Amino acid sequence: MKSKIERRQVLQEKKRIARLKGRGWCKKDDAFCSDILESKEFSANLSGLVSAVEKLEAVILLVRSSQNSIERTKNKNRPTYFGKPHEFKDRHAMAEALLAEHWFMKEWISQYQIYKEDNMRLNYRPTIGRKDHVMGYTMDNIEAVPFSQNASERAIERFSAPCIAIVATKTDSTETVFECSSVVNAISRIDEVLELGVTRSMMQGNLNIGIRRVTEEYSILIIGKDRLMNEPLVIDMGIPVSVVTEDTSVRYVHMPDFQEETKSCLELNVDDFGVVYIKFVESIENMKEEVAV
């Protein structure tokens, strides 16, 4: 017969597992977890965990995170996720595919152990994240990360990354320069001034390599200001222009002179004083040839 302490531990264990399951958990989820724990196919990738309870908790968290990732891409109120491609339609199929990947489960178990050792604080809970937040949930773009990192990576882009935006418009052969405190602010300012109706989900890339959108009528580049301080960036905007002008948001900028011959390539950089320098260049290929010589 179990002692009072043992009975209390069992009760606490049940309550903890119930909290991990959360709302919406069903008998099919319980059956899936039982099948996984009984399967020899996945035992090796769960061998980093000693007890059956730990293995169950790790699998429950994986099922929950799989479901959350699917729901995010369908939720219009989550603009940073909505409409992103997802390789899976079913949480069990996704969890099973991830359980079969040794590299992923090694990361997942490691993060689960940190979470468990830190009294299951939310910040350390293992979650399914994306390596490139512009891309969707595909097997080659998925990683196991703590909740705090998964939540903060998008926040960095949304709120605290100063950037320079360049918009080339075909109708007037003009490029407009914007300086903003974040990607969200840059897109909002572009829409306010040029009324292009652009949203973040319509663009590809990140602040390090450049966030881009190119159509027949306009071309947009948003690049992190820190990136331009390291070394000049030569970019082909795809639309030839003859004039570069700045928005009122720009504090200090050194603009190129008017060009009689339109050009689509620009060289951008920022000096130690925060001055933005922009000049026309012939082409990216010519710049590479000059460096080679």
pLDDT score recorded for residue 154: 58
293, pLDDT greater than 60: no
Mean pLDDT of all residues in 49-69: 95
| Nearest by Cα to 161 from 202, 141, 133 | 133
pLDDT tens-digit series, residues 147-164: 877 766 655 555 557 889
Rounded-to-10 torsion of CA 194, 280, 257, 182: 40
Residue 220 or residue 77, greater confidence = 220
**What is the rounded CA–CA span in Å between residue 241 and residue 235?**
13
**Range from 124-133, 248-257, 276-285 carrying the lowest mean pLDDT:** 248-257
Mean pLDDT of all residues in 104-131: 91
**Would you say 122 and 86 are in contact if contact means Cβ atoms under 8 Å apart?**
no
Sheet architecture: strand order including 204-206 = 204-206, 210-214, 218-224, 163-169, 174-180, 243-246
107, pLDDT greater than 90: yes
Contacts of 40 (CB under 8 A, 6+ apart): none
**What is the rounded CA–CA span in Å between residue 235 and residue 279?**
11
| Nearest by Cα to 59 from 105, 123, 121, 11 | 105
Tokens of 282: 């012939």
- In which band, very low, low, confident or very high, does the pLDDT at 111 lie, cut at 50, 70 and 90? very high
Tokens of 220: 């947009």
- Percentage, residues of the chain above pLDDT 70: 87
Cα angle value 249/250/256 (rounded, 5°)? 140
**What is the rounded CA–CA span in Å between residue 245 and residue 172?**
12
Mean pLDDT of all residues in 157-173: 81
3-state SS of the chain: helix, strand, coil percent to 5?
45, 25, 30
pLDDT score recorded for residue 51: 92
Task: Name beta bridge partners: 127.
Answer: 145
Mean pLDDT of all residues in 198-218: 84
Residue 221 or residue 274, greater confidence = 221
Tokens of 199: 């949203």
Q: DSSP letter at 217? A: S
Task: Name beta bridge partners: 40.
Answer: none
122, pLDDT greater than 80: yes
